[in-house]
Amino acid sequence: MRTKSRVLLVLAVLAVAGCGKEDNSADTDQATQELQKAQTELSEHSESLTTNESAIEQQQRDLARRQQELTDRQKLLAQQRTQLATAKENLNRARAAFAAAVKERFAKLESSLATLATRTDARSTDAVTGIRARRDQLAAKLAALTGTLDANWNEYTRDVDTTFDAIEHDLREALK
């Protein structure tokens, strides 16, 4: 019982001591203010951290998108280079075929001119002289075949064809 009476005595002393003291709220006011300040600071830092994380994630997504766009453009560039190389090869083959066709057409023109030159009448002799001069001009144009720039190619081939057509027409007329 002694322990029981001691516990009761301690409780009675504590009860009397608690009732008789003044308001201690001032003791906790400072701690409350510091707690509120710490919570505000924590909240601000948390928001700042979240904002920064979001910005970094957005930049990473943007960077990944731009890297993909760059990769896609590099692939397209490689395809375009391949297509350009193929187009150049096709152009070179077409030019070679054109040169061969022109050479063959020129040989036929020479053959027809040689046939006309075998004639001795004045009309044929005059025609041979005029056609040979035009043929020589055409030969000079054909010599420039390899030096013709791409931008002038269509104009060049039209001019060559027109000149051939005119000479061949005059040859046919003279051979009649």
User: Which has the minimum average pLDDT: 47-56, 57-66, 77-86, 92-101?
Assistant: 92-101
- Report the distance separating Cα 73 and Cα 69, nearest Å: 6
Higher pLDDT, 18 or 164: 164
Mean pLDDT, rounded, for 136-145: 88
What average pLDDT is seen over the chain?
87
Q: What dihedral angle (degrees, nearest 10) is formed by the CA atoms of 121, 123, 128, 134?
A: 180
- Tell me which of 169 and 176 has the higher pLDDT: 169
Show Cβ contacts of residue 128 under 8 Å, excluding neighbours closer than 6 positions.
113, 116, 117, 174
3-state secondary structure the chain: CHHHHHHHHHHHHHHHHHHHCCCCHHHHHHHHHHHHHHHHHHHHHHHHHHHHHHHHHHHHHHHHHHHHHHHHHHHHHHHHHHHHHHHHHHHHHHHHHHHHHHHHHHHHHHHHHHHHHCCCCHHHHHHHHHHHHHHHHHHHHHHCHHHCCHHHHHHHHHHHHHHHHHHHHHHHHHHC
**Residue 62: alpha-carbon gap to chain centroid:** 19
Report, as an integer, the average pLDDT of 114-132.
93
Beta carbons within 8 Å of 174's beta carbon, 6+ residues apart? 116, 123, 124, 127, 128, 131
Among 5-19, 42-56, 143-157, the least confident range = 5-19
- Cβ distance 109 to 171 under 8 Å? yes
Q: What would the pLDDT profile of 37-51 be if each residue is shown by its tens digit?
A: 999 999 999 999 999
> In terms of Cα–Cα distance, which of 66, 171, 86, 65 is closest to 128?
171
pLDDT band of residue 150 (cuts 50, 70, 90) is confident
